[in-house]
Structure 1
Amino acid sequence: MGKENAGEVGKGKTIGKGKEKLSRPEKKKVNNPVGTSPITRSKKVIDEGQGSVSVRTSPITRSRKVLGLGENSLPVETTPKKKGKKKQVTRTLVDEPIIETDPEDSDYIIPEDGEQYETDDSLGDNELGSDDEEYRDARLNLRLVEGVVQEREEGDLPDDVSMSEGRSADPRGSNTEGDEGMLSDYIVSDGDVVSDSTDEEEGSKRLPRIMYDPRCNHKDLIVQIGLRFENGYQCKEALRSWAILKGYPIRFRRVSKKQLDAKCRPPCIWRCYGSDIKDQCTFAVKVLVGEHTCLFDIHNKLADYKWLAKQYIEVFRLRPCMQVQEMALDVNTRFSIQPSLGRLYRAKAHALELLRGSVKKHYNSLRSYMSELMRVDKEGRFELLLGDDSVFRGLYIGFSALRKGFMEGCRRIIGLDGCFLKTYLGGQLLCAVSKDGNNQMFPVAWAVVEAENEECWSWFIKILLEDLGVTDGLGISFISDQQKGLQNAVASLAPFAEHRNCARHVYCNWKKTHKGATLKNLFWRAVRASYQQEFDLAMEEMKAESQEAHTDFMNREYHRFCRCFISTHCLSDMVDNNVSETFNGYIVKARAKHIITMLEDIRVALRGRQYKKLGLVTDSTEKICPNIRKKLDKLRYDARMCQAYPGLGGKFEVSCYDDRLMHMA
């Protein structure tokens, strides 16, 4: 090969030793189906021989060709193809420098149609025929650069992530299944990726399949390249929980459904980037930079009130009245963080709102709730009181089963009382509670109102009397505290009903100015006296002890709360309103909830209680209720020292120790 051959090829540089030289034409950027990568490093050893030149190509060369130059050919050594390997497909690279060659040149052999060339791109590191460390590093860097370029062209990688940062410190470390992850995916001119795999398998071979489990322990979560999520928001919540438990003060620079960019607080260089996998509805972590070098943050701002509410939602489901101070100690123990009390209060409120819904939603659903109650209990009484502009003022609840139970098996006495609701809107719960045959509470009806005043009490008592079929109150006894609005409502709506005052409320007001154990005992002795002579004796002793106390007692309408003056038609000697207080204590937990949840808790609790009491009565073989039997047994024991002496005209005399009593038939 001399100057003539060099002239035929074109102008260029000459290489070699001796008289015969090979011409190297100038390189141009044109499309060539058989090109080599611009980063391919080739070293050739050209030796003069007897009319032939031997060219040795490095294993990193992507294409292995057999070029014939006349009679003297250039044999090129190639790595033998291993048996059982998948047949490789020739890929096209873009804008790569090639050698211009004349197709008509007799020294240039054009590949026949269908002929393919072997490449080493799909081979694993342990399958290569070379032990050259530089070659292995070049393969690794090539994959690193191609991946970053592709993601930047597709818009999946921020511009401020340099290629030197790479996709991880060692991309090979993310593949735990041999060398299957070391695939060669070439970038073509339109930015797509061409590989041996199908479009569905392409993403899975580029990144390992490690799916995130929301039920995992986030403290043991391993954040790595290829960790997959449903979307960017799920990835954010996972990284948030992981960072809080680990104490990392990371910040989210960009969060959307398809992209996420998180960075730790300086001087820590940790950074995480993730985006959607192309043609898949899957989100994956694609860039991890550095390791955490920051200290544990006990005031981590990632633990906001929403995250805390989510962690404690099941706790508040069981304990809705849990104190914030107790919650603060538990948060410090579980997560080693110290949020402010304000954040804890907001977390508790948010958790209760998630459990019960918003207050506005509850009040907007009252009509639907009433319709459902009337559908289930067609004989019940349910009334909704609205003010101007449809503002809520009251809701009356009266089940038919409770009304029938009162009419058929309860004493004709009803305790009236109100209690506060423990929500931020406030309000009152009015209740009407009677005594059953066993001297226990028996709720008749209740209502939720805006305030405990005469107007609300009048509305409640009016519906109650209509529901019981007693319009003027004849044959009914009411007992309540000394609330003026309630007394006026009973007097106007039930003029023939007996209205007792609760002796316990009277004493609470009376003892403010008359204190002492002696006056206290005399007060209750006078209240519980069953006949007037005993009452008079107690009052004389009180007068001797304190004239002011005696006068104040007589001015408090004593005939309404002293046992010897109350009527007996209701078959109850009750002088206090303990049944209403018992009902208020029975529903104390429900009173802290929103209106519909509260009413449902009351209904369910009373239904279970009625079922339990029915079982006790059904299993009993006596005709007298258990509590009444105990009371009679006690009276019989106390009367063991009493002696009765009959007289004429139905009169008889009873002596008990030094006391003698005359009973008139």
Structure 2
Amino acid sequence: MRDVVLKKEMKFPNAKVFRAALREYVIKKPIDIKFKLNERTKISVHCKNVCGWRCYASQISGELTFQIKTLTDDCNCPKSFKNSQAKSAYVAKRFIEDFSKNPNWETEMTDETSQPKFKRMYVRFNAQKVGFLGGCRPFVGLDGRPEEFQLVFISDRQKGLIPAIETLFPTVKHKYCVKHIYNNFKVDHKGLELKDALWRCAAATTSKDKPILAMLEWIRVRLMTRLYIKREGIEKDAGKLCPSIQDKLEKLKVESKPFSATPAGSFLYEVAS
């Protein structure tokens, strides 16, 4: 997380992300802060030198999302090389992200014919390069016969598109746009935390220690086995209710013994202890 900017009403997926952004921001400024509140649902900090800089953020009701509610972004304290947020764990993580053990460093010069000037540097593991080049496919190309190419069509789940692509391009892969999927997903699942989780799933090529297809097959077998075990258990039970529901009912019967119910109308009772 680099070049962090904090603004009033800015949102973060959760408190952890906000704390990380706040740490990066105050180290870069720099501002040595003190926490007035550091709770699960609200965080309030101010400059240790009491110059007026302060920031308050809290959790949005019904979501994990954190939002900055107050930000007085004016610190005129003299620059200091001491900052309580620049701890050893932060420094170690920062340098681990910047430097890789891969010895194949690649650089780019602005003009090979003139005096070389450093422009940028690219560091990667060889497996990343091979996987990127081997796994990427071009998007829709309309010149020539699509069957001759390894193409991928990407679209929303509009009913007319699906059979049309299957009919016209039967050998071409057809994927669905995550943005359109998210528009339906967010109706019942709100918040930046769930949005980021959906995009991480969409970008994943492996799940835990297995490739996606192998993981799906593992899940299918687990579900099939679980359903079989549940079915076997139900068939052995002679009751009219599932065993777990029957257990809950028996527990409620015991808990309701101190109470009495007096009829007060059609399916209406007055309960007293």
TM-score category (smaller protein): 0.3 to 0.5
Q: Which has the higher strand share?
A: 2
Asked which structure has the greater CA Rg, the reply is 1
Task: Return the TM-score normalized by structure 2.
Answer: 0.34
